[in-house]
Amino acid sequence: MLSPYDELPVHQTPYPLSFVSNTDPGFDDGYFFGAFSAEERCFCFQGLRINPNTDIIGGYVGVMRDGVQRTVRFSRTWRELCDTAVGPYRLEVLQPYRHIRLTLEDNPSGLRMDLHWLGSAPPYEEAHHLATDRGRPVTDQTRYSQPGTVRGWIEIDGRRIEVDPAHWYGSRDHSWGLYHQRPPLAPDPRWLPPRDPGGVPRALRLWTLFGAGELSGFYAIHESPEGEQVPMNDTFGTPFEGRLHLGWDAAPIELVGGSHQLELVPGTRLLKSGTITLTAADGGRWTQRLEPAGPPWVTATIGYQAGSWRDGGSMRTYHGPGVNLEWDEFDFSRQPFDHTMYDGTVHQGLHGKEYLSRVVTTAPDGRQWVGAGHTELFLDGPFKPLGLR
């Protein structure tokens, strides 16, 4: 089947682009976009993913403000219309890497938007993501990340929030390939040998995209339960990578190392504050102070997990003919909390891992920039440096 993308000379196989060579239902291709302001204490998160092997395109738009999180989810079959649009939602690439328009028109959720996501620096291609289980690839994926600014507006129940690039920043990633297995489209473990990924497990993921005036950047730190930065057999297994930019056209500042001092909210795994030390290729040391600007937003509502849709399915599953759309709102101002998914699964002691952070970055020569960032903090299982068991 031909699609509009087959007009372009970008083919990598002898088949149309709607046909992928990997038959795993976990093969997908899609985007995440964030728009956030520490001054407004508001984070708008959204994504769109195509699963060609289930013939599904699905996505979400959500807003977390002062702990209240509203999310609208949408889905349809993919090949009936090979376009980055689902019902009221549309993603338009006006200029690759530079200018993306994201719109959500009238829909029952009361959430609407018209945002222009503007790249503030070239995208960063992360090290290839590869993870295996008993020798079988369960992640085999390319991903790039990019900082930006955002202009436009967001509207909730008729109340409009003006989005000004002077103090609204953006995060984004685009990834494609085989991603880690997610129920309900995953093998039933009772019919398989016990999981045995081998190698070193990951316990910490500290990932930030940020902007602060002319300065923007990206870094990711991954560590073992002992706090070691070593290659790991994990979806996010690269010990360290990152880059800083002072404008799009300036020479990038390549980062070769990073360390952290994190303070958690007592008795939880929630971030209270952090100081990150980043080492540049020229030996210069940059520091960044992180402080959350509110409760982290929670990925349980966006559609990736089983039970995040009301029928018990996920972004990858079929919800019926035509465009399917649903929405919900939760008060996540007190974390951790117990949360029941729509399939009945109860997550106890759940908390968000996606933070809107205030960031103050200091250069080796003492210059400072104040801005905002999108910070992910995953603390999974024991982590000795923070005394977590």
Per-residue model confidence as pLDDT tens digits over 285-316: 999 999 999 999 999 999 999 999 999 999 99
The confidence score (pLDDT) of residue 3 equals 87
For residue 182, which amino acid is it? R
Please provide the average confidence, as pLDDT, over all residues in the chain.
95
Share of the chain above pLDDT 70, in %: 100
Query: Is 195 or 88 the better-scoring residue by pLDDT?
Result: 88
pLDDT at 4 over 80: yes
- Residue 236 in contact with residue 379, Cβ under 8 Å? no
Q: Say what the pTM is.
A: 0.95
Strands 89-95 and 85-86: antiparallel
- Residue-wise pLDDT tens digits, 51-100: 999 999 999 999 999 999 999 999 999 999 999 999 999 999 999 999 99
pLDDT at 180 over 80: no
State mean pLDDT over 101-105. 98
**CATH top-level class of 28-386:** mainly beta
DSSP string, 310-351: TTS--TTS---SS-EEEEEEEE--S-SEEEE-TTS-EEEEE-
Task: Tell me the two tokens of residue 271.
Answer: 């971030």
Split at pLDDT 50, 70, 90, the class of 281 is very high
pLDDT at 182 over 90: no
pLDDT-wise least confident of 142-151, 192-201, 364-373: 192-201
- Residue-wise pLDDT tens digits, 314-353: 999 999 999 999 999 999 999 999 999 999 999 999 999 9
The residue written with tokens 């101002």 in the block is 333
The confidence score (pLDDT) of residue 17 equals 85
The confidence score (pLDDT) of residue 300 equals 97
- Name beta bridge partners: 5: none
pLDDT-wise least confident of 117-126, 192-201, 241-250, 331-340: 192-201
Task: Tell me the two tokens of residue 328.
Answer: 């919900």
The confidence score (pLDDT) of residue 186 equals 86
